[in-house]
A and B are shown apart, each in its own frame.
Chain A
Amino acid sequence: MSIVIWGLIKFIVVLLLISLYVLFMTWFDRKVLARMQNRVGPKLIGFHGLWQPLADGVKSIWKEDVMPGKAYKFMFWLAPVITITTAFAISFVIPFAPPVKTASGVVFHFSVVNLNVAILFVFAFLGLSSYGVLYAGISSGGSKYPFLGAQREGAQMISYEIVLALSLLNPILMSQSLNFETIVAAQTHHLWYAFYQPVAFVTYLIAMFAVAGKVPFDMPEAESEICCGYFVEYSGLKMGLYPFAQYVVVLVLSAIMVLMFLGGWNGPFWDGGFVAGFIWYWIKVAFFIFLFTWIWGTLPRYRYDQLMDIGWKILLPITVLNIFWTGFALTIGLPFF
Chain B
Amino acid sequence: MAEFVFFVLALVTIVGALGTVISRNAYASALWMVAAFLGVSGLFIMLNAPFIAMLQIIVYAGAIAVLIIFVMMLMDRRVLNNKERFNPQYLWGVVLGVGLLADLSALAFKFRINLSHIGENLTLNGSNTKMIGDVLFKRYLFPFEITAIILLIALIGAVVLTRKDINT
Contact = CB atoms under 8 A, between A and B. Distances in A.
Contacts of A154: 66, 69-70, 73
B54 interface: yes
B124 A120 contact: no
Contact of A131 (B54, B66, B127, B130): B66
A147 B73 contact: yes
A128 interface: yes
B54 A124 contact: yes
B58 A123 contact: yes
Interface of A is mostly: helix
A123 B41 CA distance: 14
B27 A131 contact: no
Contacts of B129: 116-117, 178
Contact of A117 (B25, B54, B69): B54
Nearest to B38: A128
B41 to A, nearest CB: 8
Contact of A158 (B25, B51, B67): B67
A142 B66 CA distance: 19
Contacts of B31: 75, 78, 131, 135
B27 A72 contact: yes
B124 A127 contact: no
A138 B27 contact: yes
A113 B66 contact: no
B11 to A, nearest CB: 18
Interface size class of A (residues with CB under 8 A): 20 to 34
Contact of B70 (A117, A124, A135, A155): A155
Contact of A138 (B63, B73, B127): B73
Contacts, number: 82
Interface in B37-92: 50-51, 54-55, 57-58, 61-63, 66-67, 69-70, 73-74, 77
Contacts of A50: none
Nearest to A157: B66
B34 interface: yes
Nearest to A126: B62
Nearest to B54: A120
A143 to B, nearest CB: 11
A124 B50 contact: no
A91 interface: no
Contacts of A142: 77
Given A113-B124, A115-B124, A116-B129, A123 B62 contact: yes
B167 interface: no
A51 B58 CA distance: 40
A147 B73 CA distance: 8
A120 B66 contact: no
A121 B61 CA distance: 13
Contacts of B58: 120, 123-124, 127
B12 to A, nearest CB: 14
Contacts of A157: 66
Contact of B34 (A113, A131, A151): A131
Given A124-B57, A138-B73, A116 B50 contact: yes
Contacts of B73: 134, 137-138, 147, 150-151, 154
Contacts of B66: 127, 130-131, 134, 154, 157-158
Nearest to A4: B1
B125 interface: yes
Contacts of A151: 70, 73-74
A128 B58 CA distance: 8
Given A138-B69, A157-B66, A117 B51 contact: yes
A167 B98 CA distance: 45
B28 interface: yes
Nearest to A137: B73
A127 B57 contact: yes
28 contacts: A75-B28, A113-B124, A116-B129, A117-B51, A117-B124, A117-B129, A120-B54, A120-B55, A123-B58, A124-B54, A124-B57, A124-B58, A126-B62, A127-B62, A128-B34, A131-B31, A134-B66, A134-B73, A135-B27, A142-B77, A147-B73, A151-B73, A154-B73, A155-B70, A158-B63, A158-B66, A158-B67, A178-B129
Interface of A: 72, 74-75, 78, 113, 115-117, 120-121, 123-128, 130-131, 134-135, 137-139, 142, 147, 150-151, 154-155, 157-158, 161, 176, 178
